[in-house]
Structure 1
């Protein structure tokens, strides 16, 4: 009876997989030698996928020329849908269709990377930041907005227990048989089942680059300064004012070409309609290309999702111009009819008027 139930479950899961039904959070490991890739089925955007890989001591997949032909073939049998890989356009840049990587850069910083063939790219349309790349089971690369949610993401890792670590309920838990005995955390360490987790003292948060370490943080415009003996300091973007850290208004320094929005510990430059942000501060003309974005934050990793500010022609404006022309045309036609009516009426009056009498006639 147990065997029958087990076989039924296996058949049901296989049926779901064949029908494209995905379960969030599923992780599968693909290894070649000591190098492993996790296939993560979880609908997230590019930023969340990058953070998830980093939290598991890995990184979004960077393809390498010497080994990844075989890995791509293996992955194509594991994928069902589109999965983020570690390629994104630099801030303010547009794709270059004549370049093998089209101007995209690997988030790992690698320059000796796998070079795709021209037909690897699914589309041949120029796009601009913020766009990232996903890989599908037919080995095609698709350029899409980094804010989109794909079917999952691919992480490269050296840990063969990466999927096991991902199954732990608390995302801040690090798997380890030694727990806190090796002092892995910068501030506080707590032993938990299967590993340990790190936490930070007041005024600090986990560092996104390494959650085991902590960095100063202030979520308000004014926070108490942090002192270690006689040395006091503030988070980035803040300045000491007596016993407090005050947020610096970077917009008062005129760094941005057009608009500027001050944020806690940072700032964002924005551009007027018809312009696109290049780098952090400069606005350049968009040259009427719809793929440009007129408002772009300084960092891709803003806490608020970037809005789709694609430069588009306003339908309301276009409609307004159309009505102006229609009204003008109607007015001209009416004027012509009025003038014609007046002329015809005047001519008829002249024809109906009696001829003048000649008094000099005998």
Structure 2
């Protein structure tokens, strides 16, 4: 039973895949083929087919080619099939497939239908048309009128039996619907009319509804619930189950009005019973419904890099960051496919990183971009190969032309006095500012005296008596002291000079009063002993 649920759940996911519906299709033996009238290139066409767990159609036999012709019988235009050439070298026209491979990855075939035997030396893909079923080679980027998909299923079901009074309508997971389907892939639902019974195809066998509630709600028209070990369809208030066990018809009277059921109510064997939607279980009071934590079952979402997320009434399997779901597996997302890096991209598990060519480094502002870099005083300039005069240098380097070529030379920013407040050290492509002892670097270039800062305690230390805060720094105070000392010295010298002048005048007056004759002494001082007389000239004249 667990394998049945697992396989059919996979098929159920296929039928919920969103996308365009096929225009026409055919199912037989172990394959289904569908035609899409949707203009697309080869890659887009294949993506649609793979989204429904198939691939582009392969034409390996004459019988398959006959099916192809019937599918395109009334459709004009060109259509892609699953044959591609990689273009690594010129194709070999002498081989059966000329070096082409099917999208399934192999090159086995019992049939070929080439339009010509020319060789191609670049990636090409194959298309066909109703006017010309031969294989036409063309660039894979061409947008043509449509494409054909193929779905393999070795355990398809035969048609359900019917008679002149009954008919069966089929719905398949590949998007085909109708009565005239020869074979049905697993996951197909057949509804027999007029009674309305439903059947689910699984492993060549039709299972009558209701089946597992996890697959298309068991085929129930409204609700599906677990009743012991069996599945049971239930109906909303005012409806009851019809004789086919899956449809709901309006009840003549609603017995659930007074039942107080939290979600669903039904009348079974003349009694009213409460039921819960799928993903909930009936509470102990027989009326309330509690969410079932499906993630408690560790077998769910057990794949690598996969996690189970419980939701109300259900759960979801999600992939960890950096991974995406593909065929029910979490595979690493190759972020490098979208070329996020300016130069080179390296994909890693759940992430990626960028690298740069020689002479470049990763930008400090954008990890996806590269910028020129020189790790020495000078480097050769990067010049346009078509224009030698168009050259680039890293930031803070200047272009210099020489006889030997053009070079990028580091700019010494420290030659400018406006770069740093105090000390400047030139570096390759930049510079570093620093301060002398006693100063602190601010904003990477400004130096501020540490002594001008006060600690937090200055704001809270109590003082005795009134104080006057001083705005004079230690350097300013020292300057004031020096000025005071110099002023005192200057005053002392002036006073001394004044006193000395008064003393000489007093001596001269004493000499005049005493009437002494200084003529002899005068002669001596004039001749040799005195370098310069301190007596004024007018006194000398009087003596002579």
TM-score in terms of structure 1 length = 0.44
Q: Which structure is higher in helix share?
A: 1
Is the radius of gyration larger for structure 1 or structure 2? 2
Q: Which structure is higher in strand share?
A: 2
**Structure with the larger RCO, 1 or 2 (CA within 8 Å, 6+ apart):** 1
